[in-house]
Amino acid sequence: MTLATVDPDGRPSARMVICRGIDVRAGWIVFYTDRESAKGKALDVNPYAALVFNWDAHERQARIEGPVTLAPDSDSDTYWSSRPRDARVAASASDQSQPIESRAAFLAKVELEAKRAGGDLPRPKRWGGYRVWAERVELWVGQPARAHDRALWTRALASTDAGFSGGSWRSTRLQP
């Protein structure tokens, strides 16, 4: 999915991340990353995001927007443990989004981390999940002659200890 954020200077930024779960009942989508990365810093200052799922071959698109909270540490630990060891080593070795002199220097960091870590590799404190709480959901279906089908659902969110709870959804058609 595409994740769009706004950095601390007010500049928008978008990148691809992997959707690692959707809780339809609670109304959130989760992804995991280094919280000290550019996206992590952006979400720390501006905890709102936009997501886009695009299926070009099927002329379908889903857009989700809403506030962002940290996933519980227990969820982050569980997901971290499920990742292949090589992926955990690389994530642990990487100061994501920070400059490095060369690819060879990064690969050397990864190799050093693999030796240092031994068998077990605990989740770094800086690495974890984010939940994007659906406040706006737009669906788009391509149609002939650009007479596309668009619909928008919105709801009010109330802050809770667990993140947010949503009110009733309101829907409307949108012109293409």
The residue ranges of every structural domain in the chain are 2-81+126-174
Give residue 116's pLDDT: 87
- Distance separating alpha carbons of residues 130 and 37, to the nearest angstrom: 13
Question: From CA 125, how far away is CA 84, in angstroms rounded?
Answer: 18
The residue with greater pLDDT, 115 or 148, is 148
pLDDT exceeds 80 at position 131: yes
pLDDT-based confidence at 119, cuts 50/70/90? confident
Question: Could you tell me which CATH number the domain at 2-81+126-174 has?
Answer: 2.30.110.10
Tell me how far CA of residue 35 lies from CA of 12, 40, 78, 80, 143, in angstroms: 17, 4, 17, 14, 40
Query: pTM for this structure?
Result: 0.92
Q: What tokens does 25 get?
A: 């009942």
Please provide the DSSP assignment of the chain as one string. -EEEEE-TTS-EEEEE----EEETTTTEEEEEEETTSHHHHHHHHS-EEEEEEEEGGGTEEEEEEEEEEEPPHHHHHHHHHHS-HHHHHHHHH--TTS--S-HHHHHHHHHHHHHHHTT--PPPTTEEEEEEE-SEEEEEE--GGG--EEEEEE--EEEETTEEEE---EEEEE--
**Mean pLDDT of the 7-18 span:** 96
The number of angstroms, rounded, from the C-alpha of 104 to the middle of its chain's C-alpha atoms is: 28
Give pLDDT tens digits for 25-77: 999 999 999 999 999 999 999 999 999 999 999 999 999 999 999 999 999 99
